[in-house]
């Protein structure tokens, strides 16, 4: 019998690389889809998609930079149409919880006729260790707007485990999973926790969204990046339904999600927030 072949788009990214690792441990046949992969896949160059999809049965899609950006729906539509002609049977899509724009992309997949699972995630814990919130933590001053909202950050390892389950088992077909961590934290609470775990002084500075956007615009950021961050702060953090805590991780994995406290302890010990800091127990 032919072995199922998986394409993991964004397979070296925050969730994708964990999906790739887990599938390989399970002796599955996996192809990484990214610009730097052996068979390159580039969202900005559809000519690369055909080769990347050759022989693929199931795929995990992480879109770049975000399903909310203009053009995302058209790109997802074009990829899914091609995937159907290439014999792909199932798609697992990483989406954002409470993102209306992302839901338009989800609908493309749900109406495609392919088997699918939609994985809607809240903000990642790893935004503080592998993304745009790492630098301010390292510098010791975190200035952010929307600091009164509680965010139930979710661990990318938990997301990857749900994705792997969904890719491997047909009982997850047609499901939408909404993934959150077990408790919500405001930005000042996150900063306080990281300061405590690292033994460092880290200041939280409350600022308005307007001032935050002015700072972003004064920086040399990739095109569209500051628009995207403004959108995420004004539409996602402020969406009160995103303070909700779900039990979908436990439903799928039969175990509790990782807590932000455990994440903070582990990252503090890794030294990523300050190589020279003394770690508090």
Ligand X SMILES: NC(=O)c1ccc[n+]([C@@H]2O[C@H](COP(=O)([O-])OP(=O)(O)OC[C@H]3O[C@@H](n4cnc5c(N)ncnc54)[C@H](OP(=O)(O)O)[C@@H]3O)[C@@H](O)[C@H]2O)c1
Q: How many CB atoms lie within 10 A of CB 170?
A: 11
What span, in angstroms and rounded, lies between the C-alpha atoms of 272 and 281?
17
Task: Name which of 42 and 103 has its Cβ closer to ligand X.
Answer: 42
Q: Is 239 in the site for ligand X (CB under 6 A)?
A: no
Q: Is 273 in the site for ligand X (CB under 6 A)?
A: no
Q: Is 70 in the site for ligand X (CB under 6 A)?
A: no
- Binding residue for ligand X, selected from 27, 38, 44, 222, defined by CB under 6 A: 44
Show the beta-strand stretches assigned E in 97-206: 115-121, 141-144, 175-179, 203-206
Judged by CB under 6 A, the stretch of 58-66, 105-113, 134-142, 269-277 that binds ligand X is 58-66
Q: Which DSSP category does 62 fall into? A: -
- Binding residue for ligand X, selected from 62, 129, 242, 246, defined by CB under 6 A: 62
What span, in angstroms and rounded, lies between the C-alpha atoms of 156 and 257?
10
Return the biggest CA–CA distance within the chain. 59
Q: Is 187 in the site for ligand X (CB under 6 A)?
A: no
Chain residue at closest Cβ approach to ligand X? 13
- Strand order across the beta sheet in which 115-121 lies: 29-33, 5-9, 58-61, 90-96, 115-121, 175-179
Q: Is 63 in the site for ligand X (CB under 6 A)?
A: yes
Q: Is 184 in the site for ligand X (CB under 6 A)?
A: no
- Binding residue for ligand X, selected from 6, 7, 11, 80, defined by CB under 6 A: 11
What span, in angstroms and rounded, lies between the C-alpha atoms of 119 and 252?
11
> Cα dist. 202→137, 156, 207, 261 in Å?
7, 24, 16, 17
**Minimum distance, C-beta of residue 35 to ligand X, in the bound complex (Å):** 3
Q: Is 182 in the site for ligand X (CB under 6 A)?
A: no
Q: Is 121 in the site for ligand X (CB under 6 A)?
A: yes
Task: Name which of 99 and 197 has its Cβ closer to ligand X.
Answer: 99
Q: For 251, how many CA atoms within 13 A lie in the half-sphere containing its CB?
A: 12
What span, in angstroms and rounded, lies between the C-alpha atoms of 51 and 31?
11
**Minimum distance, C-beta of residue 280 to ligand X, in the bound complex (Å):** 26
Judged by CB under 6 A, the stretch of 56-64, 166-174, 194-202, 263-271 that binds ligand X is 56-64
The tokens describing 212, both together, are 């935050």
- Binding residue for ligand X, selected from 79, 91, 94, 194, defined by CB under 6 A: 94
Residue with structure tokens 């952010």? Answer: 144
Interface residues with ligand X (CB under 6 A) are: 10-16, 34-36, 41-44, 62-64, 66-67, 94, 96, 121, 123-124, 127
């Amino acid at each position: 019998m032919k072995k199922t072949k998986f394409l993991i788009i964004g397979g070296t990214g925050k969730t994708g690389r964990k999906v790739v690792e887990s599938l390989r441990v399970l002796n599955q046949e996996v192809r990484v889809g990214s610009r730097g992969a052996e068979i390159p896949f580039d969202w900005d160059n559809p000519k690369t998609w055909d080769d990347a999809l050759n022989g693929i049965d199931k795929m995990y899609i992480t879109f770049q930079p975000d399903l909310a950006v203009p053009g995302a729906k058209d790109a997802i539509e074009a990829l899914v149409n091609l995937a159907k002609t290439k014999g792909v049977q199932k798609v697992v899509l990483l989406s954002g919880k409470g993102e209306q724009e992302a839901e338009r992309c989800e609908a493309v997949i749900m109406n495609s006729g392919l088997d699918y699972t939609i994985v809607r995630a809240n903000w990642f814990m790893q935004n503080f260790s592998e993304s745009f919130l790492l630098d301010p933590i390292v510098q010791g001053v975190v200035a952010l707007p929307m600091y009164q909202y509680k965010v139930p950050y979710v661990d990318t390892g938990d997301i990857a485990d749900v994705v792997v389950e969904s890719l491997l088992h047909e009982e997850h077909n047609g499901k939408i999973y909404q993934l959150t961590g077990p408790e919500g934290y405001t930005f000042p609470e996150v900063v306080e926790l990281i300061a405590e775990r690292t033994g460092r002084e880290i200041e939280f500075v409350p600022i308005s969204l307007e001032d935050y956007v002015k700072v972003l615009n004064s920086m040399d950021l990739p095109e569209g990046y500051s628009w995207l961050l403004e959108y995420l702060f004004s539409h996602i953090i402020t969406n009160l339904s995103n303070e909700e805590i779900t039990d979908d991780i436990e439903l799928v994995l039969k175990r509790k999600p990782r807590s932000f406290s455990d994440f903070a302890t582990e990252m503090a010990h890794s030294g990523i927030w300050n190589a020279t800091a003394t770690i508090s127990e």
